[in-house]
């Protein structure tokens, strides 16, 4: 038993939670989007391999390469510009054999390792904080220009989570919040037209039900039509008749709610919050301040993903391209999450029940 636990990582509970949530995700995906299989099995297998590998590496060892991770991340983010594929007017992916890789997703855990080591564990002077913000904006801009606003925001929340765990005085967060509010008009101006339409549709989805408000309305219909036990796998009218767009990625929660009902939706929510609970346990027993900062950043990213994904599926938040961790189809997102959780499992002194 001890050897099995060692192979699967230092925290067997986390591995079981990841496996259960991933299996539920695969079952739903096979019912609503069978065409992505068997190729998607390759991403799942690689994801588990990535988790097991990184769950064997001490966080202190990863910390030694934090600067290399940052430089490598910038190079990786530039690759789509050179060899990337243009898809729907965006350049986010490049092909590696049978795999489509999205660098913006893959680099997220490594950027967290870098910023955790850069900001935590020592006194923070304003000069260093501003330098860290400048270093953050380089990958943030590269991601936003692809464009991939959802991933860029995820990266920002990870950075914010690291900052919250750093010794930075909290008064600076108040100042930052005031500045951010003041920048809202500028942010609105630089948003792409389709991004503005998503926000307008969130405020009033019935204003344009056949265009900008369509996704939100269909998602809410899907969630409501599942009732308690759902219509059954492969029997959801919204998902199977293609009324629900991006059902395997942005709207996987709505698709699950329609086919498996309230029961399936609750299982998803419980699974996600089980993973978040394990991360908080790791934070309590982090091996050093840098590891705690990394875990804080990871918790912020996962919580944001879960909250925003479910919120937009229920029609209470604007539509954004944020996947549900370990469930939505998206090989690069799955790999990034698995790598992050593998690092997290090895960032704790002990495994709390």
Give per-residue pLDDT as tens, 7-28: 777 889 999 999 999 999 999 9
Query: What is the phi/psi pair of residue 85, to 5°?
Result: -100, 140
Kindly compute the dihedral angle of the four CA atoms of residues 278, 284, 285, 291, in this order, to the nearest 10 degrees: 90
Label residue 263 exposed, middle or buried (CB < 10 Å: 0-12, 13-18, 19+): middle
Give the integer Cα–Cα distance in Å for 311 and 316.
5
For residues 180 and 280, the model is more confident at 280
304, 323 in Cβ contact below 8 A?
Answer: no
Look at residue 351 and tell me whether its pLDDT is greater than 70.
no
For residues 216 and 155, the model is more confident at 155
Give the integer Cα–Cα distance in Å for 307 and 156.
15
Give the integer Cα–Cα distance in Å for 117 and 120.
6
Q: What is the CA radius of gyration of the chain?
A: 20
The pLDDT, as a whole number, for residue 352 is 46
Q: pLDDT category, 151, cuts 50, 70, 90?
A: confident
The pLDDT, as a whole number, for residue 117 is 94
Q: Which DSSP symbol is given to 286?
A: B
Question: Global pTM?
Answer: 0.88
Helix axes of 289-313 and 108-119: crossing angle, nearest 10 degrees: 140
Q: Specify the 3-state DSSP secondary structure of 35.
A: helix
Alpha-helical runs (H) found in the chain: 2-7, 12-32, 39-54, 59-64, 66-83, 103-106, 108-119, 126-144, 149-165, 171-182, 184-190, 193-203, 214-225, 237-240, 252-284, 289-313, 331-345
264, HSE (Cβ side, Cα atoms, 13 Å): 25
Mean pLDDT of the chain: 85
For residues 94 and 74, the model is more confident at 74
Give the integer Cα–Cα distance in Å for 10 and 346.
7
Query: What is the phi/psi pair of residue 71, to 5°?
Result: -65, -45
The pLDDT, as a whole number, for residue 1 is 39
pLDDT tens-digit readout, 39-51: 999 999 999 999 9
């Amino acid at each position: 038993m001890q050897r099995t636990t060692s192979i699967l990582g230092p925290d067997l509970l986390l591995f079981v939670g990841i496996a259960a949530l991933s299996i539920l995700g695969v079952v739903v995906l096979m019912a609503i989007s069978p065409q992505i299989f068997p190729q998607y099995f390759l991403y799942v297998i690689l994801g588990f391999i990535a988790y097991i590998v990184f769950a064997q590496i001490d966080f202190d060892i990863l910390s030694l390469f934090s600067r290399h991770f940052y430089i490598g991340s910038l190079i990786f983010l530039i690759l789509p510009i050179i060899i990337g594929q243009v898809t729907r007017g965006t350049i986010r992916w490049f092909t590696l054999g049978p795999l489509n890789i999205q660098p913006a997703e893959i680099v997220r855990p490594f950027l967290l390792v870098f910023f955790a080591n850069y900001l935590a564990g020592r006194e923070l002077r304003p000069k260093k904080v501003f330098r860290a913000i400048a270093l953050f904006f380089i990958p943030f801009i590269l991601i936003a220009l692809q464009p991939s606003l959802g991933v860029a925001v995820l990266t920002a929340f990870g950075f914010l989570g690291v900052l919250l765990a750093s010794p930075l005085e909290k008064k600076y967060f108040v100042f930052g919040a005031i500045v951010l509010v003041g920048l809202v008009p500028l942010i609105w101006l630089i948003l792409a037209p389709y991004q503005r339409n998503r926000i307008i549709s969130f405020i009033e989805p019935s204003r344009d039900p056949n265009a900008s408000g369509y996704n939100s309305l269909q998602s809410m219909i899907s969630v409501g039509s599942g009732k308690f036990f759902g219509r059954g796998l492969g029997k959801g009218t919204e998902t199977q008749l293609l009324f629900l767009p991006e059902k395997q990625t942005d709207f996987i929660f709505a698709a699950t709610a329609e086919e498996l009902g309230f029961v399936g939706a609750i299982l998803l929510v419980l699974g996600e919050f089980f993973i978040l609970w394990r991360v908080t346990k790791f934070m309590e027993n982090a091996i050093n301040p840098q590891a705690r900062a990394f875990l804080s950043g990871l918790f912020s990213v996962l919580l944001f993903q879960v909250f925003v994904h479910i919120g937009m599926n229920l029609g209470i938040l604007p539509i954004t391209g944020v996947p549900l961790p370990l469930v939505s189809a998206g090989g690069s997102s799955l790999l990034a999450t698995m790598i992050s959780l593998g690092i997290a499992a090895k960032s704790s002194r002990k495994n709390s029940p």
